[in-house]
Structure 1
């Protein structure tokens, strides 16, 4: 089944729906605060992302204009690989009711096109080890596990 969807840059009004998507799994429930009103940090982060020419926060809308997915793209200049620009994909989410309908495939196809437009030579993303379905999904799109990611939480 192919859904009628639109992928676009997020607007400020989309922030509550994005936070809802981020909070809708076992990891997100522990780190996101889905409350009314939303904590100010979400609004400040959105404003920073909108001003950053190397960041894109995007949403997927269904035919009724409801936000059913999101992702964040970060374009990173580097000296290695002969000065290559990389794209980091983060916070990919698709509403559970829309999974297995190719929404995620179309969202990632859109992201790859954004990377091509910015002349990126590589796309990177990280998948939490507990998200085995997500790992299989990315592998089906040609992503390969090549590195072991590490993280240091600062607060």
Structure 2
């Protein structure tokens, strides 16, 4: 079960957007079509240029994209000027779900976050995904805060 982790490239973007759109929540908020809408290309360029952001493409040994995630490193004043890592947009290709790839991806992301000097790794998950909450708790994440959003 070997996986390769790399910083996503522009050529990976269509497959990444396809992954983001391939679930019940993503179908309602993503717009996967080819060619990709310009908004995705612009967002990718901004993420790629920002040293505090990492869009990760996860492939199998054959080079097929099997997963993706975005890591953000947030510098703040509390915790004596600490850095926290935020994990977002985790997706695994439908046919590869249940194979343990998610656990490997999180282990990799947590180790990278340590190397980047983060003292804390955080994530949010939609309350409509109770199976995701159980998975994150199995990895040691604890529901310590109540998240809130204001859509603009």
Give the TM-score category using the shorter length: over 0.9
What value does the CA root-mean-square deviation take over the aligned residues? 0.9
Determine which structure has greater relative contact order: mean sequence separation of CA pairs < 8 Å that are 6+ residues apart, divided by chain length. Answer: 1
Matches for 1:91-106 after TM superposition, within 5 Å: 91-106=89-104
1:152 is paired with a residue whose SS is coil
What number of residue pairs does the alignment pair up?
Answer: 152
Per-residue CA deviations over 1:48-106 (Å, capped at 9, x if unaligned) read 11110000000111122111100000000011111110001000011121112111111
Does 1:123 pair with 2:105? no
Q: TM-score, normalised by structure 2?
A: 0.97
Structure 2 unpaired stretches of 5+: none
Output the CA distance in 2 between the equivalents of 1:140 and 1:17.
Answer: 28
1:63 has 2:65 as partner: no
TM value normalised by structure 1: 0.95
Shift of 1:4: 2.7
Counterpart of 1:87 in structure 2 is 85
**Unaligned residue ranges in structure 1 (runs of 5+):** none
Q: Which runs of 4+ in 1 moved over 6 A?
A: none
